[in-house]
Amino acid sequence: MVYLDHAATTSVRPEAIADMTEEFGHLGNASSLHGAGRRARRAVEESRETIADAIGAAPNEVVFTGGGTEADNLAVKGLYWARHQADPARRRILVSAVEHHAVLDPARWMADHQGAVYEELPVDGFGRVRPEALREAIERDPADVALVSVMWANNEVGTVQPIRELAAIAREYAIPFHTDAVQAVGSEPVDFAASGVSALTLTGHKIGGPVGAGALVLARGVDPVPVLHGGGQEREVRSGTLMTPLLRGFATATRLAVEERAEHAARLVALRDELIATVRKAVPDIIVNGHPVDRLAGNAHISFPGCEGDALLMLLDAHGIECSTGSACSAGVAQPSHVLLAMGADAETALSSLRFSLGRGSEPDDITALGAAIGPAVERARAARSKRR
């Protein structure tokens, strides 16, 4: 098997497995006051400190969640409700047109069910939100903006956003700025305090931690209305029994991903560039999507004119090469990528694209295997499509 879908999920690091295995052997609810509970609480708080230190935050700014989608929902819904309750005029939610559905769908839901006004920020041909576009959107009526959400790095095409500039503009108008940094942590130098953002989402399973553990990092004074109610855990922002073993694995993976980031990213850039060159040699008319420089180290998003992405994916899968047509959360849905459409691609191009994403287990042999399979697969996909026309 050649696994080229690390952006969807990557293997759990052995160090994280070891910590989780040890923790699963202990008894205790971190909210209990007896000895076992206090021991579990120490493990939780040590995990919180580890993650905070890795991403440039204070421990009390880290709110644990069940993953990135929950954290995004808490940010979008909770910050909207908090702002709208304080000032009913604040109804606009500004999101980039290339956001993950974990941000887009809650924002649209708020418009459909909670009286919010949903507005997409346009992107350029590389998928970037230009700072002037955000300023223009805010200045149409700064008093009615509830929040802004722009992802740190795009999960499909890999483009990295100018987060500090965008956050600084939102801060000028005292507007909370949320960023989904799920793809960025471990690949980009993510520093919560230095970035100036109000809220940041990260999750474990993209960086060698477990599925089911994530966090929303909230700057001091940023207090969303809870989405979950119950035991009042996580400073009453996110109720629910804390998943102590998963949090230990999450913390270990985050620490190691950040410590090894520079070396790891340099290795992936070299592999990614080799992948693109290898595919282009076999299929000269490919189109590489996303920003040519400011992009995730392990991301190669490629359009294959005359092909259907789903068909090409299955042909590669038959050769043991696993990749994606886009976000794994929307896989299986035959529709053009909203990211590519927002970048100005036509529907046919958007449907002809594959995402190859590299990770810790990726090796040069994977590129060789893809190079041998991609040419014949494209020929078959194009022939099949021509017959159907």
Residues 298 and 237 in one domain: no
Q: What is the C-alpha separation between 267 and 360, in angstroms, rounded?
A: 9
What's 281's domain CATH number? 3.90.1150.10
Q: Is 329 a catalytic residue?
A: yes
Residues 275 and 155 in one domain: no
Look at residue 251 and tell me whether its pLDDT is greater than 80: yes
What is the arithmetic mean of pLDDT over 292-296? 97
- For residue 334, the model assigns a pLDDT of 65
Lowest mean pLDDT, pick from 110-119, 189-198, 253-262, 320-329: 320-329
Residues 255 and 275 in one domain: no
Radius of gyration of the CA atoms of the chain, in A: 21
What is the arithmetic mean of pLDDT over 29-35? 96
Closest CA to 100 of 30, 207, 185, 179: 179
Lowest mean pLDDT, pick from 107-116, 180-189, 319-328, 374-383: 319-328
Look at residue 304 and tell me whether its pLDDT is greater than 70: yes
Confidence class for position 384, pLDDT limits 50, 70, 90: confident
Confidence class for position 328, pLDDT limits 50, 70, 90: low
Residues 245 and 269 in one domain: no
Lowest mean pLDDT, pick from 141-155, 180-194, 329-343: 329-343
Task: For residue 297, give the amino acid letter.
Answer: A
- For residue 329, the model assigns a pLDDT of 53
- For residue 81, the model assigns a pLDDT of 98
φ and ψ at 19, to 5 degrees? -65, -40
Residues 20 and 118 in one domain: yes
- For residue 116, the model assigns a pLDDT of 98
Residues 252 and 279 in one domain: no
Total domains present in the chain: 2
DSSP state at residue 77: I
Q: What is the C-alpha separation between 30 and 242, in angstroms, rounded?
A: 7
Q: What is the C-alpha separation between 25 and 248, in angstroms, rounded?
A: 13
Residues 94 and 158 in one domain: yes
- For residue 385, the model assigns a pLDDT of 78
At which of 225, 259, 293 does a domain end? 259
| pTM for this entry | 0.96
Look at residue 387 and tell me whether its pLDDT is greater than 80: no
Residues above pLDDT 90, as percent of the chain: 95
- For residue 333, the model assigns a pLDDT of 55
Residue with tokens 């026309």: 389
Look at residue 366 and tell me whether its pLDDT is greater than 60: yes
- For residue 332, the model assigns a pLDDT of 55
Confidence class for position 223, pLDDT limits 50, 70, 90: very high
Q: What is the C-alpha separation between 352 and 336, in angstroms, rounded?
A: 9
Residues 59 and 168 in one domain: yes
- State the alpha helices, DSSP H only, in the chain: 14-24, 35-55, 68-73, 79-86, 101-113, 131-139, 163-172, 192-195, 244-259, 261-282, 309-318, 338-342, 347-350, 364-388
Domain carrying residue 217: 14-259
Look at residue 270 and tell me whether its pLDDT is greater than 70: yes
Residues 212 and 151 in one domain: yes
Look at residue 105 and tell me whether its pLDDT is greater than 90: yes
Pairing between strand 92-96 and 145-149?
A: parallel
At which of 259, 284, 317 does a domain end? 259
What is the arithmetic mean of pLDDT over 70-80? 98
What is the arithmetic mean of pLDDT over 179-190? 98
SS (H, E, C) 317-349: HHCCEECECCCHHHCCCCCCCHHHHHCCCCHHH
Q: What is the C-alpha separation between 1 and 369, in angstroms, rounded?
A: 10
Residues 294 and 241 in one domain: no
Residues 55 and 146 in one domain: yes
Check 97, 282, 329, 372 and give the catalytic one.
329
- For residue 212, the model assigns a pLDDT of 97
What's 28's domain CATH number? 3.40.640.10
Look at residue 386 and tell me whether its pLDDT is greater than 70: yes
At which of 259, 282, 311 does a domain end? 259
Residues 167 and 299 in one domain: no
Look at residue 313 and tell me whether its pLDDT is greater than 80: yes
